[in-house]
Copies of this chain bind each other. A is one copy, B any other.
């Protein structure tokens, strides 16, 4: 059992590494098997298609995002909900930095993520609803999207790949908080 879990985990790590090089579309079960040094049948034991593997690769990121949204929704006041949401989003972006980076440059991965987000109980819509708050004015709606899309887009941008996790996390959270009108104190 432990060995099975390990193999599955190694398989997903290997797939993520290959995505960086070949994209999701260009990463066949055979390529993953070759990189792992196993037969294609061994990969097939865990996953039947390359889409299944891609779904499994992004699943931890979506699970963490859902947990962050749930934590934000549990707050009472709108301000605390927004702060908790942006803090959680920054955490998810940093924790899954490789995945976020690949996402920005890989249409194949974008397709899989979009399908998964839909399956994942509308986690993106819930995040936006928390950020927008009780008064969905045009200003509030646009600010919510600028913060969320700006933070995730920037987190994966090659131009900030030189920043370490702490620098990037703090700067993303600062800019996103300002965008929704809740500048952070230092």
Contact = CB atoms under 8 A, between A and B. Distances in A.
A176 to B, nearest CB: 6
Q: A interface, by DSSP: helix, strand, loop or mixed?
A: helix
Interface stretch (A3-11, A30-38, A44-52, A157-165): A157-165
Interface residues of A, number: 34
B128 A142 contact: no
A154 B163 contact: no
Interface of A: 107, 110-111, 128, 138-139, 141-143, 145-147, 149-151, 153-154, 157, 159-160, 163, 167-168, 170-172, 174-176, 178-181, 183
A143 B153 CA distance: 12
